Amino acid sequence: MRDIRSLSIDLSKFYPDRCIEILTKNAIPDIDEKHAVIHHSNESILAEYFAYEFAQGRYKKLAALDIRRPFGNCYLPLKYRAGEGVTDLDYKRFFDSARIKAEKYNNFIGTFVIDITDHLVNPYHPAMDRLLDFVDATSTDTKYLFIIDTNDSLIAEKMFKRIVSRVRRLDMIELHVSTSQYADYASMLLQSKGIILTKSINQPLTKYITKISEKTSFSGFESIRDSVDDIIYAIHGMTDAKSVTGKQLVKILDSLVIIDDEKTTMQIGFGRG
């Protein structure tokens, strides 16, 4: 998983109310927040960002309890793989990772973030039994956040029921982002790079972002960041980035939509051939 601290924009602005509620509770020393399943669709950055903030809150609680360890020893984000090529040695390394992360301390205490998306195809695989046995044995000192990436709510619910059958005090967190929020994020990124936006930009920017979000390859905030890089590149290609006018930016956005349409048409043509 990526280093969330490297992101230039505060993604908490795009949290649903439930996320804010959970983080608020997690900051209160007397409340022991639940474990959680984080369900998203193409929103890996936002899911990881939330998990990191949750872990930070948890870490502050540990400090308040006079448990003195570096944050790096109390936060562990990993992917629990499945499928062809995954061996017993891979699983052993996964389960050993918490002990290794604890280093000189006797056991891992903190937040363990586990991406279990690979196991959505078979929530009852023996590997899931093995994981849930491990969670059951270590959940006193560790808060678990299970991340799943799917646009199928029934599949997400099935996995939630699978975990909650073994893990007590489990919450479901739904991360969904609207097109207007993606457009806001793109606007924030552009402004962070020195591009001054006017109201006339809102509609063409939203149109462009909508087009991007409809692509099957769309991956949430990550795709928006790439698209903003395309916009910046186009701006540098025609003028000085800091003096671009509203009309010029509208022209750039319209041209990028046309280019994207042409690429899609070519792909469809090759597919039929």
Final residue before a domain boundary, out of 150, 175, 200: 175
Task: Check if the beta carbon of residue 221 is closer than 8 Å to that of residue 185.
Answer: yes
Helix (H, G, I), strand (E, B) or coil at 149: strand
Please check whether residues 22 and 129 belong to one and the same domain. yes
Please check whether residues 14 and 75 belong to one and the same domain. yes
Please check whether residues 194 and 166 belong to one and the same domain. no
Give the pLDDT score at 8: 60
- Smallest Cα–Cα separation from 267: which of 217, 204, 208? 217
Please check whether residues 167 and 218 belong to one and the same domain. no
The encoded tokens of residue 50 equal: 């939330």
- Which CATH number characterizes residue 68's domain? 3.40.50.300
Please check whether residues 18 and 125 belong to one and the same domain. yes
- Directed axis angle between helix 246-272 and helix 221-238, to 10°? 120
Please check whether residues 144 and 221 belong to one and the same domain. no
Please give the distance of CA 49 from its chain centroid, rounded to a whole number.
6
**What is the Cα–Cα distance from 15 to 127, expressed in whole angstroms?**
32
Give the pLDDT score at 195: 79
Please check whether residues 78 and 134 belong to one and the same domain. yes
Task: Sort strands 110-115 and 142-149 into parallel, antiparallel or unpaired.
Answer: parallel
Please check whether residues 217 and 153 belong to one and the same domain. no
Identify the segments of the chain with pLDDT beneath 50.
Answer: 261-273
Question: Could you tell me if residue 273 is inside a domain?
Answer: no
pTM (two decimals): 0.84
Count CB neighbours of 65 within 10 A.
10
- Tens of pLDDT, residue by residue over 98-125, are 989 987 888 899 999 999 999 999 999 9
- Directed axis angle between helix 221-238 and helix 202-213, to 10°? 130
What is the rounded average pLDDT for all residues in the chain? 85
In this structure, what is the dihedral angle of CA atoms 233, 234, 236, 242, given to the nearest 10 degrees? Answer: -100
Please check whether residues 247 and 138 belong to one and the same domain. no
Please check whether residues 163 and 225 belong to one and the same domain. no
Give the pLDDT score at 265: 34
Domain that holds residue 254: 179-265
Number of domains in the chain: 2
